[in-house]
Structure 1
Amino acid sequence: MLQPTYPITTPRLALRPFTTDDLDAVHAYEARPDVARYLYWEPRDRDTSRELLAKKATRTAIHQEGDALDLAITHRHTGELIGSALLIWTSSTHRQGEIGYILHPDHHGHGYATEAARAMLTLGFTGLHLHRITGRLDARNTASARVLAKLGMRHEATLVDNEFVKGEWASETIYAILETEATP
């Protein structure tokens, strides 16, 4: 089980549970075609963002396999919400998890995704005692691949045309890191 103490702080960021008050900030990035481009969903309308935000707000602890932490990424000193970070416990038997992240494009290129994802890796390895954590992404998303590489994750596979997404075949790239390879 993992029940973090919030906020989880990094040098520049604070990760915290979502609240319904985050709707404007969340919808500001979820409605953007450039954000949804490499994700499974299309740009979201406000009602969909509101509905999914209510679900995110409940994902604050991991009790069993299949559970996830879905946390708001905020600037530590201003409190501005700039994205989300995810940790999923994918297998208790094999001690495996997966991380993910989404940032508003106005905040790309500053290392925030790497900083938030590193915090999620730490939670997975120290809080859940995972052995292995993966990151999966659309193979065309080279910026996200660079984030995973900066974390020390290795490119393990590219599954060519393995999914039919948004009317086209898409390839998926998988990165991974073992607990013994992670640096705090």
Structure 2
Amino acid sequence: MVPGEIAPYPLRSPRLRITPLAAADVDDFVRYRQDPEVARWQSWDTDYRVADALALVAGQPVDRLPGAGEWLQLAVRPVDGGPLHGDVAVRRCAGQPDTFELGVTLARAAQGRGIAGEALRAVLDMLFHDAGAHRVVASCDARNLPVSRLLRRVGMRHESRQLEADWFKGEWTTLDGWAVLAREWRDLAPRTVSTSAS
């Protein structure tokens, strides 16, 4: 899949339905972004507003993957409806073909239930099987141990540690880099989720 092609939404897993974030998701999205425990490790602060979320939704593609350097927020919902669990962010990396970056954020009520892993596996599966990804990367603050464990559980490799490399929220922070290649994913995870194209 190249930028501009139709993306295979919705993604479905046993408990989840994943589609691009929409205006109907904004209230739930803002609510968990304003939670200090959720915002602690993220690039935004607790003053995140509805106007910020509406601008994000208006500026992202809804039927395709992002172009080079662009982000897309995928809403993670219960398969049978209900409040937004969280989102998976997807960026197509500029300068390297078929390379994507992921991030994940869950509302506190959805944490500790395996939802983040299920959502990341669904998105990884789509990127490798439908989007032709060669490599998918992620990064996190080295102190964010729950996310480090999550990335390892879904099959990503710990590739790097950059000591005090990022000036973040008033302090130098250490970043951990994670990655998985298409060939590793094929060996690790036979396809178990479905997309609208499968």
- CA 1:142/1:80 → structure 2, altered by over 3 Å: closer, same or farther? same
Identify which of structures 1 and 2 has the higher relative contact order when contacts are C-alpha pairs closer than 8 Å and 6+ apart: 2
Q: Which residues of structure 1 form unaligned runs of 5+?
A: none
- State the Cα distance separating 1:44 from its structure 2 match: 2.8
Q: Which secondary structure state, in structure 2, belongs to the residue aligned with residue 66 of structure 1? A: coil
Q: Say whether 1:98 aligns with 2:118.
A: no
Equivalent AA in structure 1 for residue 55 of structure 2: A
Check 1:53–1:142 CA distance in 2 against 1; reply closer, same or farther (3 A cut): farther
Output aligned runs, 1:57-72, within 5 Å. Answer: 57=58, 58-60=60-62, 61-62=64-65, 64-72=67-75
C-alpha offsets along residues 10-47 of structure 1, whole Å, 9 cap, x if unaligned?
110001122222222111101011111111221134xx
CA shift, 1:139, in A, is 0.9
Q: Counterpart of 1:49?
A: 50
TM-score normalised by length of structure 1: 0.90
Number of aligned positions between the proteins: 182
The runs of 4+ residues in structure 1 deviating greater than 3 Å are 91-94
Amino acid at match of 1:174: G
Pairwise CA distance, 1:180: 0.4
**Equivalent in the alignment of 2:33:** 30
Structure 1 pair 41/69, CA: closer, same or farther in 2 (3 Å)? closer
SS in structure 2 at match of 1:81: coil
Aligned mate of 2:116, from 105, 113, 116 = 113
Provide the residue aligned with 2:155 in structure 1.
152
**What's the C-alpha RMSD, in Å, of the aligned pairs?**
1.7
Percent pairwise identity = 31
User: What SS is found at the alignment partner of 2:178?
Assistant: strand
Q: Partner of 2:196 in structure 1?
A: none
- Give the conservation status (yes or no) of the 8 Å contact 1:18–1:53: no
The two structures have a TM-score, normalised by structure 2, of: 0.84
Q: Which moved more, 1:96-105 or 1:123-132?
A: 123-132
